[in-house]
Amino acid sequence: MHGESSFMDRFRLDGKVVVVTGASSGLGAVFAVACAQAGADVVVAARRVDKLEDTVREIKAAGREALAVRADVSVEADCQWIVQATIERFGRLDVLVNNAGIGEQHFATKLGTDEFRQVVDVNLTACFSTAKASAAVMQPGSSIINVASIMAHTTIDGMPTTAYSASKAGLLGLTRALARQWTGRKGIRVNAVLPGFFPSEMTRDLQPQMIADRLVTGRLGDPEELAAAVVFLASDAASYVTGAEIVVDGGFLLS
């Protein structure tokens, strides 16, 4: 085995270029830095470039190159611009992490159609637009990772995520459809990660007792525990994984 790459090298992202949307803070920033630590150059996108400065700094501290792109993923032209800017800077795009998303907590009777549509536009339609633009330039062996949610599969009393749950369930359907269409024909793997409850802007207002009784692990997740799943799906270690849903929820869905 001397002179050959080791099994653990399959988990590395050396030589790859990764795009992470919604990377200005929270889980997106953790994903971006984790990919850099695994060896990738990383493009981070958000509506405000100034909010990406800390993420860019951490990527460079990991010894990798970074590019910050201003983009509103609810605008299709911006989704295309993310890909164009990536190709102009790095000449390739190997991994897309569709992370940008917004939440809401409204009972259906109190939720306006315009707000419902806004959530779907960001959480679902934007993922399609960015994936489609990325697939046009990706080479075989590339990976698309859609960040969904366990709320695509469950509900919680007192937490009426009507549009959010619908959009994330739709994202799982999109993941399966793209995997079916692109893995065999283009060699692009498409998978979804389904986070449970992690410290983030979306979960900061949750009442801990609402979810504590359903967490087998008895605690919220560490963002790096979720980032590990993203890096796995981005890497060659997951070369035989496509159309999959990787649930990272501390056993929440078991209850």
**Which one is catalytic: 90, 128, 164, 198?**
164
Residues 152 and 105 sit within 8 Å (Cβ to Cβ):
no
Determine whether 164 is an active site residue: yes
Write the DSSP assignment of 156-224 as a string of letters: BTTB-BHHHHHHHHHHHHHHHHHHHHHHHHH--EEEEEEE---SSTTTTTS-HHHHHTT-TTSSPPPHH
CA distances from 26 to 33, 73, 108 (A): 11, 17, 28
What residues act catalytically?
164
